[in-house]
Chains A and B, each alone.
Chain A
Amino acid sequence: DTGVSQDPRHKITKRGQNVTFRCDPISEHNRLYWYRQTLGQGPEFLTYFQNEAQLEKSRLLSDRFSAERPKGSFSTLEIQRTEQGDSAMYLCASSLTGLDTQYFGPGTRLTVL
């Protein structure tokens, strides 16, 4: 098992551009979570999927953010019209079920210039 992987690891973009991140969970994990972490803070929940269904979204997830998990395996997180305030580490985690431990990927660090 290779663990949770995320791509890219780093992304630098200009304000107003769209960006997309990918997360590959641990195989057979039904739950997939997205978090955002800013400097000096703990991860903040954004959204999660049970297989392909997006079950919950945080208030932090503005209309510019969209996430998908089309086949219940990998997931993508897209940010449209990026703003400087979007600069953060975006973390993905997966768990076997909703009650199990979440295992995290290495994150994608986004810098918006």
Chain B
Amino acid sequence: AQKVTQAQTEISVVEKEDVTLDCVYETRDTTYYLFWYKQPPSGELVFLIRRNSFDEQNEISGRYSWNFQKSTSSFNFTITASQVVDSAVYFCALSEVSNTGNQFYFGTGTSLTVIP
């Protein structure tokens, strides 16, 4: 079973529109971490945010905001006033904490295209 599901394969928006990228995860652990990474065309994964399972406060960083809801096992990512530079593939990831550390499970990614 897929531990991280990103149902949106591709999204296109016009510049300055808001866009929300969905992420649903599955875990039986009570302690875990959730992440969002951005992968621009250059290929390098860029870390955006990390949340632990005990902190459900939403977070805002500039045009980016994240909505973590344990009740629905979702960790959605919203970009406000999108820009062309936001065009990239965005990955949601889950890290479960075991005795030997953590292993990452990535979703299949959402490819975002911002049209000028």
Contact = CB atoms under 8 A, between A and B. Distances in A.
A104 interface: yes
Contact of B91 (A42, A50, A99): A42
Interface of B: 4, 33, 35, 37, 42-47, 50, 91, 93, 97, 100-109
Nearest to A97: B101
A102 interface: yes
Contacts, number: 59
Nearest to B99: A98
A109 B44 CA distance: 11
Contacts of B104: 33, 35, 43, 45, 102
Contact of A43 (B45, B50, B102): B45
Interface residues of A, number: 27
A25 interface: no
A106 B44 contact: yes
B108 A99 contact: no
Residues of A contacting B: mostly: strand
Given A101-B47, A106-B43, A55 B101 contact: yes
A42 B44 contact: no
A56 B103 contact: yes
A39 B102 CA distance: 25
Contacts of B103: 45, 48, 56
B72 to A, nearest CB: 21
Given A33-B104, A42-B109, 9 more contacts: A40-B108, A43-B91, A50-B101, A91-B45, A93-B45, A99-B101, A103-B47, A104-B46, A109-B43
A41 interface: yes
A101 B35 contact: yes
